[in-house]
Structure 1
Amino acid sequence: MTSLDLEFVRAQFPAFREPSLQGQAFFENAGGSYACQQVIDRLTTYYRETKLQPYHVHPASQKAGDAMDISYKRFADYLNVDEREVHFGPSTSQNTYVLAQAFASLLTSGDEIIVTNQDHEANSGVWRRLASQGIVVKEWQVDPKTGLLSTSDLDRLITEKTKLLAFPHCSNIVAHINPVKAICAQARANGIVTVVDGVSYAGHGFPDVRELGADIYLFSLYKTYGPHLGVMVIRNAVAERLGNQSHYFNASYRNKWFVPAGPDHAQVAAAQGVLDYFDLLHDHHFQNEASVLKRAERVRALLHDAEVALLQPLLDFVDQHPKLRLLGPADASQRAATVALMHSEMDSDVLAKRLVEKGIICGAAHFYAVRLLEAMGIDADKGVLRLSFVHYTTPDEMTQLVDALSEVC
């Protein structure tokens, strides 16, 4: 098994060389990861050399358009979908809003949609609002003790009127990885469109969307080492049903259909820097050539294995601590490297402040998962402490975190 070369990895992220951040262990990756050097370089190059309207006749304009086109193509290959199925929008929240407005024109009064109370509000609230148009909104509810979803509960919600199912790949609080492939297959067998929120999962490895079987898959690039954009995969059959949501004269440009304001040219061009980084990571760790899909699979495994090795000791510490409550599974194999917890005697914001004083970058809030916290009997206004890391986190930083928790708790 190939192990991750952390020194090489961290050399690709300028934040680790930033003097003001020295000694500060970064555990708020779920809120936004550090950007890799490759993205920063591409963004700088675009602003310096091609900051003008793309796709016009000037060579610099054509170069700008080419850079954007390459991003669409490379992301499609990496996610194993068609190039026309990749859309870059300003954020996942904005992308789901546009999607909901598009579906509103297809759904009729009495049609049913299923949402969860495990989701970030971005993939919940926009669908719930369709109830004002006569759409029946059903809630797939978590177990209030564990925060987990049960597929047997989903069975009881599905009827012949169910048209859409929106759910997370994993929660940004309990972090349990849902069986997306099985859920999507179940939905497809019933003629139901699936909208999968992958924001809390994709930072730990980009998925093979075709293999998952999701009709729509969303994640945020700024949480996956890139610029502040939302990536949205909409499979062609669904996109054609929804139709163009942009200006009528953009109907022949599929990548503009679901971005009414138009794409951010520079950030779209720079987005492929994430894949530059992943390819560099692959070539550093694996000597033999491989297809794009194989490279993606190897990098995904590399990231996953590095995180799991660090995650289990932290879960054990929190789960066994007499004053800490761990939210979500205590088994690292069942979850992403996002750990939400509560202290029995201390408010979450106070705990976060004390950790920050120990050099731990973290946050305390509801993290847009208000419905989930309320379902678990937690005061959303007080929120939870969230500690999230990714593959570039070091064992020393994990030790720094555990030592800090031991001191302040």
Structure 2
Amino acid sequence: MMTQLDLAFVRSQFPAFSEPSLQGQAFFENAGGSYACQPVIERLTAYYRETKLQPYHVHPASQKAGNAMDASYKRFAQYLNVDEADIHFGPSTSQNTYVLAQAFANILQSGDEIIVTNQDHEANSGVWRRLADSGIVVKEWQVDPQTGLLSPSDLDLLITPKTKLLAFPHCSNIVAHINPVKKICEKARSQGIVTVVDGVSYAGHGIPDIGELGTDIYLLSLYKVYGPHLGVMVIRNAVAEKLGNQSHYFNTAYRNKWFVPAGPDHAQIAAAQGVLDYFEQLHDHHFEPSESVLERAQRVRTLLHDAEIALLQPLLDFVDQHPKLRLLGPVDASQRAATVSLMHTDMDSEVLAKRLVEKGIICGAANFYAVRLLEAMGIDADKGVLRLSFVHYTTPDEMTQLIDALSEVC
């Protein structure tokens, strides 16, 4: 029996829903950054108020700061089902991938091959393509220009004995199709290929069990998962050892500093675990107690997914059946995340977005750093698409407000 999400409880955990200036405004740009939950705000405020000094030194306040940071590493590792040493907090996913690519440049040789896609956000594409300047052969796993989807069978035509790395998204931030990550990673692993999965557009809909997915490297952005503006990068131990320390030479003994050359943001790392505080509160409010972190994580993951799917399908059906709207990505909600990109036959996306904003719909129109994908689908990247993205805290009334607004302006 499916557990029903208690929306009143959920929304009570997000101060934005009590903000007077946002009343009546339905938030549909979560793919660009979600609202922050109360536990994150409280932890961040407490850090700045109580422990805003260098952590890990001898003063009790400094020790408290370090302990809070350590707790975030430990708790995220448990929730993601990886080793604590695999967790790296950086300033953003774009910055994390840049450092990562520079690290790979030191161990790859001229003639080695890497595979990228034209479905990705540029953060997990451009940094790898630049390695061609060093003699690395870059191959592109291309989307179907009609659907924007990737076909795993196409990989067989790209992989050779020289292939060393495969970078692809968990799901696109435009077409939102959820790629079969586990299957793709298994294929790559069988041939000794390192996988780098961009999970930024997926994680806000349910932080995944990375151990189960089997990827070597996984990327997500906490500011799209109800948290502070941090990027989380999971790098499995064997890969990290090959890449080596990218930070100051004297940080070799501190694995969590290896891939953050500029140093960590102490306060935001300490506050990051507030996301997991929220998920734990969600679990305890909806389910019987469980000693297993992985069981609690899976229950919450399913809870969020089921809540979104129930709202997503009617929106997809409306857009798909509208004579003047083009839906990008699958019309079946079970195949995608709750990010819906569309185009109007007679109206620029920015104009459409402005008209929706006048109806109380918070949304955006742009290329959303997926220029290569839009170009592959024959879409003018300068004009972009309208993107409507929501998460579990969106209400049925807000979905009605959105569909009514689309009906009026289209």
In 2, Cα distance between equivalents of 1:211 and 1:68: 26
> Which position in structure 2 is the counterpart of 1:319?
320
User: How far did residue 167 of structure 1 move?
Assistant: 0.1
The residue aligned with 2:36 is 35
| Alignment partner, residue 405 of structure 1 | 406
Instruction: Calculate percent identity across the aligned residue pairs.
Output: 87
Q: Offset at 1:196?
A: 0.1
Q: Distance in 1 between matches of 2:154 and 2:287?
A: 43
Determine the structure 2 residue equivalent to 1:168: 169
After superposition, residues 249-398 of structure 1 pair within 5 angstroms as 249-398=250-399
5 Å-filtered alignment, 1:5-404, equals 5-404=6-405
Give me the whole-angstrom Cα distance separating, in 1, the residues matched to 2:31 and 2:54.
Answer: 33
User: Residues 34-91 of structure 1, C-alpha deviation per residue, up to 9 Å, x if partnerless?
Assistant: 0000000000000000000000000000000000000000000000000000000000
- How far apart in 1 are the matches of 2:152 and 2:166? 12
Q: Deviations over 1:11-38 (max 9, x none)?
A: 0000000000000000000000000000
Helix, strand or coil for the counterpart of 2:380?
A: coil
Code of the residue aligned with 1:253 in structure 2: it is: Y
CA RMSD of aligned residues (A): 0.3
Displaced runs of 4 or more, over 6 A: none
For 1:389 and 1:106, locate their aligned partners in 2 and report how far apart those are by CA, in whole Å. Answer: 40
Structure 2: distance between partners of 1:166 and 1:152? 16
Letter in 2 for 1:304: H
- Cα distance between partner residues in 2 of 1:28 and 1:204: 13
Task: Give distance in 2, aligned partners of 1:304 and 1:289.
Answer: 20
Partner Cα distance (1:152, 1:293) in 2: 32
Question: Deviations along 1:218-260, whole A, 9 cap, x unmatched?
Answer: 0000000000000000000000000000000000000000000
Query: SS of the residue aligned with 1:149?
Result: coil
Letter in structure 2 aligned against 1:57: V
> CA offsets, 1:355-382, max 9 Å, x none?
0000000000000000000000000000
Aligned partner of residue 278 in structure 1, secondary structure: helix
For structure 2, the residue ranges without an aligned partner over 5 or more in a row are none
Partner secondary structure for residue 205 of structure 1: coil
In 2, Cα distance between the equivalents of 1:18 and 1:26? 13
Distance (Å, rounded) in 2 between the aligned partners of 1:245 and 1:209: 23
Structure 2 Cα separation of the partners of residues 147 and 363 of structure 1 = 20
Deviations 1:154-201 (A, max 9, x none): 111000000000000000000000000000000000100000000000
Counterpart Cα distance in 2 of 1:255 and 1:321: 50
| Matching residue's letter, 1:383 | G
Q: Please state whether the residue corresponding to 2:108 is helix, strand or coil.
A: coil
Shift of 1:213: 0.3
CA distance in 1, matches of 2:327, 2:148: 11
Mapped to 1, the partners of 2:153 and 2:311 lie a distance apart of: 32
SS at 2:161's partner residue? coil
Taking the aligned partners of 2:376 and 2:312, their CA distance within structure 1 comes to: 26
CA displacement 1:258-279 (0-9 Å, x = unmatched): 0000100000000000000000
- Opposite residue 163 of structure 1, the aligned amino acid is K
Q: Quote the Cα distance in structure 1 between the aligned partners of 2:330 and 2:110.
A: 39
Task: Specify the SS of the correspondent of 2:189.
Answer: helix
Q: Which secondary structure does the structure 2 equivalent of 1:340 belong to?
A: strand
TM-score in terms of structure 2 length: 1.00
Instruction: Give 3-state SS (helix, strand or coil) of 1:145's partner.
Output: coil
Q: Tell me how many residue pairs correspond in the alignment.
A: 409
Structure 1: stretches of 5+ with no match in the other structure: none
Following TM superposition, by how much is the alpha carbon of 1:289 offset from its aligned partner in structure 2, in angstroms?
A: 2.1
Offset at 1:152? 1.0
> In the TM superposition, what whole-angstrom CA distance separates every residue of 1:304-340 from its partner, at most 9, and x where no partner exists?
0000000000000000000000000000000000000
Equivalent-residue separation in structure 1 for 2:363 and 2:326 (angstroms): 17
Deviation, 1:288, is 2.7
